[in-house]
Structure 1
């Protein structure tokens, strides 16, 4: 019983600190260490005989070392490589070329509200190139807002759609997909395209339709108040010479290679890291052929490795914190108690889905993002799901999708604050425009998960 009380106190403290915008990675790392310290005090073994240092207190930090090694060996290097490639593509201007080419035809559409669902879908496709929701929002406000304004759409409609574009697009290049697939024991391609996609794609289509009717209704309700001026200084982009149009294909090379190999050459065992490095060197060769200055090309290519560092600091440390926290919960004995309690419960899968999804929604709403919750619990899900006699994906996938969706209705989320500051309005005004489509999306995610998975 004492274990449960101590665990609840630690969980409540973690929730509070993340809500108060403390660094989530360090919060989770610290909480994991505290749980191991409590386990040490309670006389529980920290490590097995093969890994122990010989002194239980030092085993706490040995566990931290082993967690870093384990996560960096597979998940960590994958995430860092993907971040590095995205950073290099951004430096080359390949992402800008792709965004420009995809959005350019929108100016020919004259029926203004027809643009709403189209922009939403195209924006989600563009999130494959620019995974950061706030960065993509700035780019789209700069490129798309003039187009949308020209056909008569209000600024709040444009902002409401743009604030929801980087959400649940199924892609094997997403860090959360990489982690979920590995933890749940799925092939990455199968997890994304045979599970994630059958939930996320119908949800995105329904959200696009919901956007059409909701933005039209809100424009009619708000009248002239919806047509606010934007702060153009916040979306002005540096003038830079863009590379040729064929560079638009470069950011998609890893995804194309993954799809081609998984569909036509399944006997070939090439993971995301291998295919991303191949894509990097292809881009490097193309840059050299175009510029004919090897020294400059090699110097510029170091952006790839700088991006890998960003991947470590932005995601990998958070994942390590989440895994350490989960292992701390296991070591103190709480997970065993939880798994035993759900073994004979009727409809345990449905109940657990609502519990995990609800907790993710609440944390994401008040903190601006639910992925910290996802990373902190994904390691626990296989054990809990096995005890409830269900596939772990039933718990993990709704959590993952909701963690990404809820960001667009949190007034403290970076993407909401970016869009609000560009339009010089209160973030709540943006949330009013995103709320109905996102809530409908969340309901779709839970409903489809319970029906299909």
Structure 2
């Protein structure tokens, strides 16, 4: 093993430690990548990689447009109407409400995409309903927090889908349709196992009176009036893309166009001042660039540094020796990092930019490997007590995030092994 490999491993360990200690992931990944480029004798490549990521035409327009649409949905409160519509029929189904809450949150996450945004929107409505229906606060919070896993991977505006589909030269809707069965099956395994753990081990369907008292006293009079037009607004871009894939020539309706048409629909049905709606859209685009694109850029520099210093070629040579090494490395690696950091994004982007493009060299499909990594990162984040979405639902239910993590870890691990076995 060369000194470059040893030093790069130390740099990566230091980067992981820094992220765990809450250093900004973008800063940490960029610095780690730049240092590896410097040690490899190519210091300027880090800056070239940074610029390349900034103007990537395959990622920047669709991701920013999707984030802008999400901001418009939030501003117009269409997300609240969607959640209220889904919550109405689920009030009186007993212990099954745990599974139903998790599955419903998964569906909402397809439309909203942001795990934290989904947790806040769904949690504010569902958690009090579940508690008043006889579910312990920790169980109700775990159901909603657990439901934030992987739903966004079924949305054509998801950054991971766009990137992975591009690796395989596959239209994003075709990529989703080909892999939806894996995403849904893994989610169902995680949801079923987690529900069983919460019912039979934690007894979350048998609350004590003291646990319910505070929430019962907080129940508000009156019902939220659901506007069906607003409730369907978050789904418009997906419907347009699906219809476009089925009935229009390929490429005639892309992600950007569908998101813009979705914003136009919101403007028509929300009766809000269009100036403010458009401001929220562009603000969301800017926020998306700062958070999602910024992380992609930094992870790209990190991956480039690992490539230049020789770590990626060495790792690929290792993966060539065994399909099992590739399978478990792509699953447990991102999963564990996501648990430690509370975010699966850094792990997913770093792995998918550094290793997944070379999947064919060790006998794997880049789309399959990339999706497995994305699923693993999402599951790990859901099991983490320091993930933003878990902290949000814990606050709503007034319980410790650790209590939620206890209820999630078994289901997420079982789902991780399941995904690795069926996909690779």
Structure 1 length normalisation: TM-score? 0.84
Paired residue for 2:337? 363
Distance 2:357 2:404 in 1: 40
1:427 and 2:384 are equivalent in the alignment: no
Question: Residue 129 of structure 2 aligns with which residue?
Answer: 147
Q: Which residue does 1:127 correspond to in 2?
A: 109
| Equivalent residue, structure 2, for 1:19 | 20
Structure 2 residue matching 1:378: 3-state secondary structure: helix
Report the Cα offset of residue 322 of structure 1: 0.8
Counterpart residue number, 2:254: 271
Q: Distance in 1 between matches of 2:213 and 2:347?
A: 34
- d(CA) in 1 for partners of 2:391, 2:357: 38
Aligned partner of 1:165 in structure 2 is 147
Shift of residue 309 of structure 1?
0.9
Count residues with an aligned counterpart.
417
What SS class does the counterpart of residue 339 from structure 1 fall into?
helix
Whether 1:441 aligns to 2:412 is no
1:156 matches 2:133: no
Q: Matched residues in 1 for 2:205 and 2:226: separation?
A: 42
Alignment equivalent of 2:50, drawn from 58, 61, 64: 64
1:191 matched residue in structure 2: 175
RMSD: 2.7
Displacement after TM superposition at 1:272 (Å): 0.7
Counterpart of 2:10 in structure 1 is 9
Residue of structure 2 aligned with 1:352, choices 323, 326, 346 = 326
Q: Which runs of 5+ in 2 are unaligned?
A: none
The 1:258–1:151 alpha-carbon spacing in structure 2 relative to 1, beyond 3 Å, is same
Task: Provide the rounded CA distance (Å) in 2 between the counterparts of 1:245 and 1:146.
Answer: 23
Q: Given the alignment, which residue of 344, 355, 364 partners 1:381?
A: 355
**C-alpha deviation, 1:186, in angstroms:** 2.5
Q: Deviations over 1:135-178 (max 9, x none)?
A: 32233332123322333222222112111011112221222222
1:225-273 per-residue CA deviation (whole Å, 9 max, x = no partner) reads 69635987xx999x9x988431222211110011111122244533211
Deviation at 1:129, TM superposition (A): 3.1
Matches within 5 A, 1:236-315: 244-287=227-270, 290=271, 296-315=273-292
Q: CA deviation at 1:209?
A: 2.6
- Residue 279 of structure 1 deviates from its aligned partner by 2.2
Query: Conserved in 1, the CA contact under 8 Å of 2:116 and 2:388?
Result: yes
TM-fit CA distance, 1:87: 0.3
Larger radius of gyration: 1
Q: Which residue of the partner structure matches residue 70 of structure 2? A: 86
Alpha-carbon separation, structure 1, partners of 2:123 and 2:316: 47
Match among 94, 99, 102 for residue 83 of structure 2:
99
8 Å CA contact retained: 2:76, 2:266: no
Q: For residue 372 of structure 2, what is the aligned residue in structure 1?
A: 398
Q: Distance in 1 between matches of 2:203 and 2:84?
A: 31
Give the superposition deviation at 1:64. Answer: 2.3
Q: Which residue of 1 aligns with 2:118?
A: 136
Confirm or deny: 8 A CA contact 2:150 2:183 kept in the other structure. yes
Separation (CA, whole Å) in 1 of partners of 2:37 and 2:219: 49
* Cα distance in 2 for residues equivalent to 1:117 and 1:243: 24
How far off its partner does 1:204 sit? 2.1
Larger CA deviation: 370-379 vs 210-219: 210-219
Q: Secondary structure of 1:144's partner?
A: helix
Q: 2 CA distance for matches of 1:231 and 1:299? A: 38
CA contact (8 A) 2:29 2:302 kept: yes
Q: Distance in 2 between matches of 1:231 and 1:66?
A: 53
Unaligned segments of structure 1, at least 5 residues? 41-45, 47-56
TM-score, normalising length: structure 2: 0.90
> Cα offset for 1:374?
0.9
Pick which of 246-255 and 435-444 moved more.
435-444
Query: How far apart, in 2, do the equivalents of 1:113 and 1:418 lie?
Result: 23
Q: Distance in 1 between matches of 2:349 and 2:210?
A: 39
